[in-house]
Amino acid sequence: MAILPFDLGLGLGALRAWGIWILPFVAALIIPAVAKASKRATGWVAVAFALASAVSALTLLPAALGNHEIHNQISWISSIGIKAGVLADPLAVIMSNVVAWISFLIFVYSTGYMKGDKDLTRFFFWMAFFLGSMQLIVLSDNFLQLFFGWEGVGLASYALVGFWYKDKKKDHVGVEGRHVLGLMDYYSPTHSGMKAFIMTKVGDVMMLAGMFLIFAFAGTFGFRELTANTSWATAMAAQHLLIPAAVLLFGGAIGKSAQFPLNEWLLEAMTGPTAVSALIHAATMVKAGVFLVARLAPLFFALAAIGINMDQFFEIIAWVGAITALLLATQGMVHPEIKKVLAYSTGSQIGYMMMAIGVAGLSKQFVDGYTAGFFHLISHAMFKASLFMAAGSILHIVGSRFMTDMGGLRKYMKKTYAFMWAAGLGLMGAPFITTGFWSKDAIFGAIYESGNTWALPLFAIAVITAVITAFYTTRMIGLVFFGNKSKHVEELEKEGHHIHEASASMWIPYGILAVLTIAVGVMGLAFEHQIHDLFVNYLGTTFGIKSDVGTVATESQPILGGFLQGVNPIALTASLSAFAIGFVLGYIFYIGRFADPVKFVNSNIFFYAIHKFFLNRWYLNALIYWGFVVAPLYVARGLYKYFENFVLEGFNVIPEKTMAGGARIMQATQTGVSQSYLYIFGVGILIVVFLLLI
Amino acid sequence: MQFVLLQALFLPLLLSPVAYYLGRKSGPTVATWFTFGLLAYCTVLVITPALSGSYEEHYKWTQLFGEFGLLLDGLASPFAIIIYVISTVLVLFSKPYMVSRITTMFEERISEKHLVGGSTEVIESSSLKEHLNHQIGAYYALFLVMAMGMLGTILATNLIEFYVFFELMLIPAFFMLAIWGYESRRRVALLFLFWTHVGAVILLLGFLSIGLSVGSFNYADIKAHGIPPHVLGLAAVAIIVGLAVKMAAFVVHMWLPHVYRASPTPLNALSSGAMLGVGAYGFFRLIIMLMPGQYEHLALALNIWGLITMIYGGVMALVQDDIRKLFAYSSISQMGYIMFGIGTVSVLGLSGSEMMFVSHSLGKVILFMMVGAIILQVKTRSLTKMGGLAGKMPITAVCAMIGALTLMGVPPTSGFMAEWTMFYGALQTAIQQGSMIRMATFGLGLVATVITMAYILWMIKRVFFGKLPENLENTKEANWYVTGPMMVLAGFSVVIGIYPDIFFNQIIPFMKGLVGV
C-alpha cells in the first residue's frame, strides 16, 4: 500500500476519498432545508456539491494513475468485527471521476431541464442521493458497504423513474392501447418505478446470497482481505460452492445493469425525467453492474494461480453480455420512442462491456479484455450522456416522445443537431475519430485474440450487433432531424410554438460531452494504451495477474505506419465494415429516404414477422408478466378465497357454531316450567334406580 | 439503583386510575400528556440499567411459585426498550385518533336514536364532551395496563410470572377492541379472547408440567436442574403451540386478520409492534434457553414453519383491498421472518431474528400510523378508493416510505441489518450441517423478501401515487400528534440501520453465550 507523500500526517487523501461519496449525501440532507429559503437554490446546491465531489475525485487521479492506492478503514459493526472503509485504487478512482464529472454536467443540465417543476426539492434530493450511492459503490472496500450504495441506487431510481407520480398520460411510455400477448404495453411512471425496483431486487437477492456464501467461508467482506488470503476459495471450490457464489454475485450485476433476463425494467425506466435517464444510463445504476464485475473479475481470475478454474463463471458473463447486446440492439431498430431507442442501445452496449470482461477471464491476456471493457464504459458514459441530454432537449421542445412527431428539426436546432451527430457517431463507432470506435475495436480485438472456443460465435454476435447499432443510430438521427416536419410539429407551429434551440444551461453540458467524444476519439489509441499500461501495473501489483506486455506490439503487424500499432487487423476490418453497412442502410432508409421503410417491412411476410417480433420485445416482457405477475396473483386470489376464507376460517366458525349450538340446546332445557323439571327429575330417578337394580 | 424496574413495571398500573381521573376531569390533552410523561419516565427507567449490561432485581413472592424477579439482559433489553418506546410514542398518536373515533361513535349513536325516533331527549354539546373525557380517560387507563403487561412478560424470571403478565395484557386489549372497534367488534373481541386465551392455557399446561416436575418455576432453577425427559417433549410442544398462536403463525393465525380489521388503529400498532413480539421473545426465553436439547431437535421445523408463514402471509397481503387487513397479513408474514430466524441455530441468525423484532416494530408502527392518519383524513380503508395522496400528505408519505423500506429490508434502515444477519445465519447453519433442506429454506426465504417488497410497493403506489380521486381533493396533512411520532421512529430506524451496534452490542454477545460459540 503506497502512501502519498503529502498524505503523511494529515491523511488528506483518505479524507478526500471519503468526501467523494459523503458530499453528495450531505447535499441531499441540506436540500430540504435550503428549499425553505428558495426552491430554485436547491438545484445550485446539488450542482455545487456535485462539483465539490468531482474535484475531490480529480485530486486523487494523479496518484491513481501512478498506481497508488488509498485504503482507509474505520470501525463499524464492532460486535461482528466488520469495518467500513474506502478503497481508492486506480479502478475506483478512474470510475469515480467518470461518474462524478458526467453527473456534474447532468446536474447542470437538470437545472435547465427541470425549470418550473413544482417538486424541485424532491428531484434534487434524489439526484444527489443517487450520485452519493453510486460513489459509495465505487469507493467501498467491502461487499456490505457496497450493498448500501447498491440498494441506494435502486431506491433512487425507484423514486426518480416514478418522479411524476401523478401518472399523467404524457408521462407514460409505450403506445396506448397496444397489446402484447393480451397484456398492455403501456406503463405509468409509478408502475415503472416499482418494476425497476423489484426487478433489480431479484438481482440484489442473488447478490446477497453470493456475498453470504463468501462471507461464510472467508469471514470477511473486504475486497483486499479476500485477495490477501485465498484459503476461502480453496475451501469453497472443494465444496463446489465457488462458481455458484460467483455467479450469484454476477446476478446482482445482471439486475442492476439490465442484462438478460432481467433487462426489461430498463425500457420502462424511461418514464423518468430525461436528466434521470441520462444519469441512470451514463453515470450511475447500469454502470454499477459493470463496475461490480470489474471489481470481482480480477479477484476470481487471480485464483487461477492457485489452481482454481473459473472458466464457467467467465463464460456465463460473456454469454449473458452477448445475448443482451444482440437482444436489445434488435429491438432498438424498430421502436418509435426516441428515449426507448437510447435505452435499448444502453443495454446493448453494456452487453459489450460484459462480453469484454467475460472474454478477458477466458484468455491468457486478461488485461486486454479488461481494458477494452473499461474503456468502452468510459466512452459510452460520454456519448450516451450526451445523446440522452440532447434527446431530452428535443422532447422538451417538441413535447412528444415519439420520433414520428419530430422530423426535419436540423434547421431549427443546429447545435443539438451537430452534437447529436458527434455523440451518435461515437455510438455507431465511426472510424478513427470517435472514442466509441476505439473502445469497440478493442473489444473486438480482445474477443478475437482470446483464443477461447467460444471466440468465434461471440465475435460474430459482436459484429452483427455493431451493424445494427450503426443502423439504429442513423435511423434515430434521420427520423428526428431529416425529412419533412411531422404533423405534430406543424400543429405546434400553427399554435404559435416555434421550434427553437435549447437554452444554454442545457446545450452546454451535452455539447461538452459530444466534443469530448471526438476529442478523446482522435487520440483514442493513445488513451487506450495509457489505460492498458495502468491496468497492467494495477493487476500485476494488486492481484498478481501477470500480463505479457511485449506480445501486443510484436504479434500484430503494424499497418498504416505506426498509427494503428497494436490493433488487430481482423477486428479492425470487422468494425470498419460493420459501421459502413449499418450506416449505409440507415442512410438509404432514413436520411436519403430512397426507400420507404414501412413499405419495405410490409412487402414481405418474413420482414413483417420479424419486425413484429422485435417490436413485441421478443415477447420476453409479456412472458415475464404472465409468469411472475398475472399468474401468481391469480393463484393468490384463489388461495385467499378458497383456502384462507373457507378452509381456515373453519377454525373460527366451527368452535363458534358449536358453542352457540351447545348454548341453544342448554337454553332449550331451561324451560322455566316446573312440570317439565319434575318430569325430567322423575325420569332421572327412575334411571338411577334401574341402574342400581342391575 | 434499586426498584428501578419495579417502578417501570408497576407505575403504569398504579397510576392508570389517575389517567382515567385526569381524562374525565380535564379532557384528552391532559390525559395524553400525563400518560406520555409517565411512560416516557418509565422508558428512561428501562433504558438506564440496560446501558450498563445485564441487570436484575429480585423480590420475595409466594412459597409456591418462587421468587418475583425482574431481569434485563442482552435478550430482554431490546424487547423491553422497544416495547416501551413504541407504547410511549403511540400515546401521542392515540389522541387525535381516539378523539375522532369516540366522537364518530357518539354521533352514530345519536343519529341511530334519531332514526328510531324513540328518544326525545335533547343532547347538548356538553354531553359529547363529557362522554369524550370519560372514554378517553378509560382508554388511557387500559393503554397503561397493556403496556405494563407486555413489559412484565419480558422481564419475568419465573414461569408463573410470565403467564400472569401474558394473560394480563389480553384484558385491556379485549376491552379496547370491544369498546372502540369497528364493525362486529364484540364478536371479534370474543374471537380474540378465545384464541389468545386458548393459546395461553396451552402454554400454562406446558408451564405446569415443567414446574411441577422440576419443583420450581424459576427459570434459573429449571436451567440448573434440567427438565426431566418424560415431560420434556410434551412441555416443548405445548409451549411452542401456545407461543405460535400469540405470534399468529400459519394455521393458527386466523384470529389476527379479523382482529386487525376491527380494532382501532393504535391498538393495531401496539399489538403488531409489541404484542406479537412477546411471542417471539417467549421462543428465545422458554425454548432456546430452558430446553436447548429440544430446540435443536425442533429448530428445522421452526425454520420451515417460519418460511411457510412468511410466504403465506406475504401472498395473502398481495390480494387485500382493506389496508388494515393488508397489514394484518403483513404482520403474519413478518412474524414468520422472526420464526425463521429462531430456527437458524446460529449466533447471527438468532441475533438477526431479534433485530427483526426491533426493526419490524419500528417499521410496522410507522405504517400503522400512516394507516391511522389516512383513516382520519380520508375516511376510507379501501385501497381502491385512495391514490395520489403523496402531494396532499407529504410528511406522512415520506415517513411511510421509510417504514416501508424498513419492512422491505432496504439499507440504510434497520430492516437491512436485521435481514442480512438473519439470512446469513441461516446460510451458515446450512453450510455447517451440509443440509440441502436448510439451503432451500434459505433460498426461499430470500424469495419471500421479494414478495414482501411487491406487496409493500404496490400498497404505497395505490395509496400515495397515481391520480387523486376527486373527493379527496381537500385532504390535509395529518397533525403533529401523528407526524411527530412517525418522524421520530423513522429517524430511529435509519440510525439503527447505519449504526446497528446500538442493539447488536447487547444482542450478539448474549446469543454467543446462548448458542455456545
Helix, coil or strand: residue B382? strand
Question: Which residues in chain B (346-365) have CB-CB distances under 8 A to chain A?
Answer: 348
> Which residue among B191, B252, B420 sits closest to A208, beta carbon to beta carbon?
B420
Which cell goes with B300?
Answer: 428445522
CA distances from B304 to B199, B384, B443 (A): 21, 34, 12
Which residue in chain A has the smallest CA separation from B469? A166
Which cell goes with B58?
Answer: 429480585
Average of per-residue pLDDT values in chain B: 90
Q: Give the pLDDT score at A557.
A: 45
- Determine the distance in angstroms separating the CA of A557 from the nearest CA of chain B, rounded to an integer: 52
What is the maximum span of chain A, computed from C-alpha positions, in angstroms? Answer: 129
Q: Give the pLDDT score at A560.
A: 46
Of chain B, the end-to-end C-alpha distance in Å amounts to 32
Taking residue A658's Cβ as centre, other Cβ atoms within 10 Å add up to 10
- B446 with A208: Cβ contact below 8 A: yes
Q: Which residues contact A345 (CB under 8 A, 6 or more apart)?
A: A328, A329, A332, A384, A427, A469, A472, A473
Q: Give the pLDDT score at B122.
A: 52
Given a cut of 80, whether residue A671 has pLDDT beyond it is no
Q: Which residues contact A105 (CB under 8 A, 6 or more apart)?
A: A385, A389, A509, A510, A512, A513
Q: What is the pLDDT of residues A102-119, one digit of tens each?
A: 999 999 999 988 888 888
Question: Which residues in chain A (74-93) have CB-CB distances under 8 A to chain B?
Answer: 76-80
User: Is residue A148 within 8 angstroms of chain B, CB to CB?
Assistant: yes
Question: Which residues in chain A (260-299) have CB-CB distances under 8 A to chain B?
Answer: none
User: Is residue B454 within 8 angstroms of chain A, CB to CB?
Assistant: yes
Q: Give the pLDDT score at A11.
A: 64
- B427 with A212: Cβ contact below 8 A: yes
Given a cut of 90, whether residue A494 has pLDDT beyond it is no
- Determine the distance in angstroms separating the CA of B412 from the nearest CA of chain A, rounded to an integer: 7
Q: Give the pLDDT score at B377.
A: 86
Residue A222 has phi, psi (to 5 degrees) of: -70, 135
Which residue in chain B has the smallest CA separation from A652? B254
Q: Which residues contact B276 (CB under 8 A, 6 or more apart)?
A: B246, B247, B248, B331, B335
What band does A483 get if pLDDT is binned at 50, 70 and 90?
Answer: confident
Contact criterion met (CB below 8 Å) for B139 and B94: yes
Q: What is the pLDDT of residues B425-483, one digit of tens each?
A: 999 999 999 889 999 999 999 999 999 999 999 999 999 998 888 888 888 888 899 99
Give the residue among B420, B326, B316, B407 at the shortest CA–CA distance from B365. B407
pTM of the model: 0.92
Length of chain B: 517
Which DSSP string do the residues of B18-54 spell out, in sequence order? HHHHHHHHH-HHHHHHHHHHHHHHHHHHHHHHHHTS-
Contact criterion met (CB below 8 Å) for B390 and B424: no
Which residue in chain B has the smallest CA separation from A187? B466
Given a cut of 90, whether residue B225 has pLDDT beyond it is no
Given a cut of 60, whether residue A6 has pLDDT beyond it is no
For chains A and B, count residue pairs whose Cβ atoms are closer than 8 Å. Answer: 115
What band does A3 get if pLDDT is binned at 50, 70 and 90?
Answer: very low
Contact criterion met (CB below 8 Å) for A151 and B411: yes
Give the residue among B313, B261, B338 at the shortest CA–CA distance from B454. B313
Contact criterion met (CB below 8 Å) for B242 and B159: no
Please give the Cα distance from B92 to B29 (Å, whole number). 10
User: Is residue A585 within 8 angstroms of chain B, CB to CB?
Assistant: no
- B424 with A216: Cβ contact below 8 A: yes
- B461 with A216: Cβ contact below 8 A: no
Q: What is the pLDDT of residues A582-604, one digit of tens each?
A: 999 999 988 888 888 888 888 88
Give the residue among A208, A321, A312, A340 at the shortest CA–CA distance from A259. A321
Q: What is the pLDDT of residues B17-46, one digit of tens each?
A: 999 999 998 889 999 999 999 999 999 999
> Which residue among B427, B446, B499 sits closest to A216, beta carbon to beta carbon?
B427
Give the residue among A326, A350, A576, A258 at the shortest CA–CA distance from A468. A326
- Determine the distance in angstroms separating the CA of B111 from the nearest CA of chain A, rounded to an integer: 32
Q: Percentage of chain A surpassing pLDDT 90?
A: 44
Which residue in chain B has the smallest CA separation from A199? B450
Q: Give the pLDDT score at A551.
A: 45
Which residue in chain B has the smallest CA separation from A208? B420
Which residue in chain A has the smallest CA separation from B496? A77
Which DSSP string do the residues of B91-128 spell out, in sequence order? HHHHHHHHHHHHHHHHHHHHHHHHHHT---PPPPHHHH
Q: What is the pLDDT of residues A160-202, one digit of tens each?
A: 999 988 888 888 888 888 888 888 888 899 999 999 999 999 9
Q: Give the pLDDT score at B304.
A: 95
- B505 with A78: Cβ contact below 8 A: yes
> Which residue among B318, B410, B431 sits closest to A216, beta carbon to beta carbon?
B431
Q: What is the pLDDT of residues A28-54, one digit of tens each?
A: 999 988 888 888 888 899 999 999 999
- This complex has an ipTM of 0.91
User: Is residue B487 within 8 angstroms of chain A, CB to CB?
Assistant: no
Q: Which residues contact B60 (CB under 8 A, 6 or more apart)?
A: B67, B68
Q: Percentage of chain A surpassing pLDDT 70?
A: 96
- B447 with A205: Cβ contact below 8 A: yes
User: Is residue B427 within 8 angstroms of chain A, CB to CB?
Assistant: yes
Whose grid coordinates read 395529518? B478
Q: Give the pLDDT score at A565.
A: 63
User: Is residue B500 within 8 angstroms of chain A, CB to CB?
Assistant: yes
Which cell goes with B156?
Answer: 419475568
Given a cut of 90, whether residue B516 has pLDDT beyond it is no
Give the residue among B123, B140, B131, B392 at the shortest CA–CA distance from B267. B140
Q: Which residues pair with A186 in a beta bridge?
A: A174
User: Is residue A637 within 8 angstroms of chain B, CB to CB?
Assistant: yes
Please give the Cα distance from B492 to B363 (Å, whole number). 10
What band does A305 get if pLDDT is binned at 50, 70 and 90?
Answer: confident
- Determine the distance in angstroms separating the CA of B140 from the nearest CA of chain A, rounded to an integer: 30
Given a cut of 50, whether residue A7 has pLDDT beyond it is no
For the segment A396-420, the average pLDDT, to the nearest whole number, is 87
Which cell goes with B93?
Answer: 398518536
Q: Give the pLDDT score at B126.
A: 62
- B465 with A162: Cβ contact below 8 A: yes
Q: Write out chain A residues lying below 8 Å of B189, CB-based.
A: none
Q: Write out chain B residues lying below 8 Å of A209, CB-based.
A: 427, 442-443, 446
